[in-house]
């Protein structure tokens, strides 16, 4: 399991370009307070042995345009690593925040749904429920909208409760892993006006994203993995 996620993390860090993306509205984050050695809460031990399986792994990424980019070549990487019969899928709307996903899941809104079991992506418009119930997913990832990725106030427990309750009801695999896919910082010189809430500073935005993840995601026992 550890080997799989280390390889996956290495791939994602290599794949993700440092760019502006497709941000939506967000509030200005507070100045970060960075402890020299942040205390990370312990998580319970999870039994997710299926992550070591080389055959039939199914991954669903839920998010926005950043999610689209992050998963574009994931199937090929897993194929090169010797995984067989892999299914990679993404359920997304550009610029969508966690709060908007919660509202969409409550109303069973329509999303872009792409999936890949071979060399080509297949694309469709599908409701959130139909997409999640279309298979038994081993891993499901969530991702915040880029402008809010470093804004702790945008990470509301009630939104996560709404989304995860729906996932638990819809996903046929009750032992799935829920992972958090971190959003990357905009590059220096990016002209998106939302970058101003991070002082137009890539390093500062990255710091805010990391601190928000430490504050809001690591203590959240719904998530068992974090993908930087």
Phi then psi for residue 2, to 5 deg, are -65, -40
Of 85, 46, 67, nearest to 178 (Cα)? 46
Higher pLDDT residue, 102 or 43? 102
- Does residue 192 contact residue 186 with C-beta atoms inside 8 Å? yes
Under the banding of pLDDT at 50, 70 and 90, the label for residue 205 is: very high
Q: What is the pLDDT of residue 21?
A: 53
Q: What is the mean pLDDT of the chain?
A: 85
pLDDT of 33 higher than 50: no
Query: What's the mean pLDDT in 161-184?
Result: 97
Superfamily of domain 2-15+51-227: SGNH hydrolase (3.40.50.1110)
- How high is the pLDDT of residue 53? 75
Residue 54's pLDDT band (cuts 50, 70, 90): confident
User: Cα angle vertex 137, ends 176, 80, to 5°?
Assistant: 105
pTM: 0.81
- The pLDDT value recorded for residue 52 is 72
Total Cβ atoms within 10 A of residue 31: 11
Model pLDDT for residues 106-165, shown as the tens digit of each residue = 999 999 999 999 989 999 999 999 999 999 999 999 999 999 999 999 999 999 999 999
Q: Summarize pLDDT for 95-106 with one digit per residue, the tens.
A: 999 999 999 999
Average pLDDT over residues 56-79: 97
Residue 45 reports pLDDT greater than 60: no
Q: Show the CA angle centred on residue 56, arms to residues 50 and 57, nearest 5°.
A: 55
């Amino acid at each position: 399991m550890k080997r799989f996620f280390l390889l996956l993390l290495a791939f994602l860090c290599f794949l993700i370009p440092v760019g502006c993306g497709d941000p939506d509205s967000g509030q200005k984050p507070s100045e970060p307070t960075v402890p020299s050695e942040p205390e990370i809460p312990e998580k319970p031990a999870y039994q997710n042995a299926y992550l070591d399986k080389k055959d039939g792994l199914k991954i669903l990424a839920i998010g926005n345009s950043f999610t689209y980019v992050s998963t574009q070549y994931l199937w090929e990487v897993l194929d090169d690593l010797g995984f067989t019969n892999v299914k990679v899928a993404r359920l997304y709307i550009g610029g969508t925040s966690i709060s908007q996903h919660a509202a969409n899941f409550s109303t069973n809104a329509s999303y872009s749904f792409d999936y890949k079991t071979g060399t080509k992506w297949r694309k469709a418009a599908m409701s959130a429920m139909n997409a999640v119930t279309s298979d038994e997913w081993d891993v499901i990832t969530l991702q915040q909208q880029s402008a809010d990725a470093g804004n702790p106030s945008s990470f509301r427990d009630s939104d996560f409760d709404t989304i995860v309750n729906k996932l638990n009801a819809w996903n046929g695999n009750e032992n799935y892993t829920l992972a958090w896919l971190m959003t990357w910082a905009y590059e220096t010189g990016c002209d998106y006006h939302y970058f101003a809430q991070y002082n137009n500073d890539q390093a500062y935005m990255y710091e805010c994203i990391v601190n928000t993840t430490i504050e809001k995601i690591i203590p959240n026992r719904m998530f068992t993995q974090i993908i930087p």
